[in-house]
Amino acid sequence: MAETATTDTVQPTTEASPPLKLPVRRMDGTPTGEEIELDPRLFGLPRNDHVLYLAVKVEMSNRRQGTHATRSRAMVRGGGRKPWRQKGRGAARAGTIRSPIWRGGGTTFGPQPHDHNLKLPKKVKRLARSIALSVKAQAGAINLVEDFDLEQPKTRRISDMLQAFDADGKSVLLLVDGYKPTVVKSCRNIHRLEVRDGVNASTYDILRARKLIVCRSALGSLTGGLPGEK
């Protein structure tokens, strides 16, 4: 049965910082002249490390396969015969050569396959994602790029875009709207670059990236789950 991460000290807050405006740029880094005001419910929340910790802990725990196993004394082959009589030898009594204190014996209290899944309340999960985006926005680590698509996979185009956004060689998360196969194929050979649909980007994905490059249309998908939004 999956456990639920404790949220006793989590108190979702609606206090937000002043609106933040970011310019929209083209792939070559030149401004388009458009400036977008980011939603303060998503990019203006105060930092809450405990909420971020819970979200990352749950995600990393749920990634575990839980297939680790060791053999107990009952699982080790052999040892069915008592090695010597109980009394009279002057030696410690022994019932099996597969005892955990013997060489070649079983393992005491070793790991066994089990489910590591944890659950996080939906509101806390959404709050953590919004706080992660707010942390990146307040640190100046978010860039907006106009919507683009590629007719065919071209790694060079993406690499040039990263240089234009001063993100070459850094861990980058590119948020797009929907699944774009040519963009994904163009990015998969670039080290430390991840591509995610804005809807599916997790708190961990956002926090582990040093820079976020968000497509113009992906901003709408990021607001999903906010109060009053679908």
For position 149, what pLDDT does the model report? 87
> How do residues 170-224 score in pLDDT, each as one tens digit?
999 999 988 889 999 999 999 999 999 988 899 999 999 999 999 998 888 887 6
Considering the chain, tell me which residue range(s) the CATH 3.40.1370.10 domain(s) occupy.
3-66+118-222
Nearest to residue 47, comparing CAs of 106, 170, 130, 120? Answer: 130
Residue 11 confidence (pLDDT) above 60 = no
Whole-angstrom distance, CA of residue 48 vs CA of residue 11: 9
Nearest to residue 192, comparing CAs of 213, 210, 180, 218? Answer: 210
Place 41 in a pLDDT band, splitting at 50, 70 and 90: confident
> How do residues 90-138 score in pLDDT, each as one tens digit?
999 999 999 999 999 999 999 999 999 999 999 999 999 999 999 999 9
| Domain 3-66+118-222 CATH (choose: 3.30.70.100, 3.20.140.10, 3.40.50.300, 3.40.1370.10) | 3.40.1370.10
pTM: 0.79
For position 14, what pLDDT does the model report? 47
For position 86, what pLDDT does the model report? 94
- Mean pLDDT calculated for residue range 136-154: 92
For position 179, what pLDDT does the model report? 87
Q: Which residues of 164-188 are buried (b: 16+ CB within 10 A; e: fewer)?
A: bbebeeeebbbbbbeebeebebbbe
For position 122, what pLDDT does the model report? 92
- Mean pLDDT calculated for residue range 34-58: 93
> How do residues 73-101 score in pLDDT, each as one tens digit?
999 999 889 999 999 999 999 999 999 99
Q: Let me know: does 13 contact 48? Beta carbons within 8 Å.
A: yes
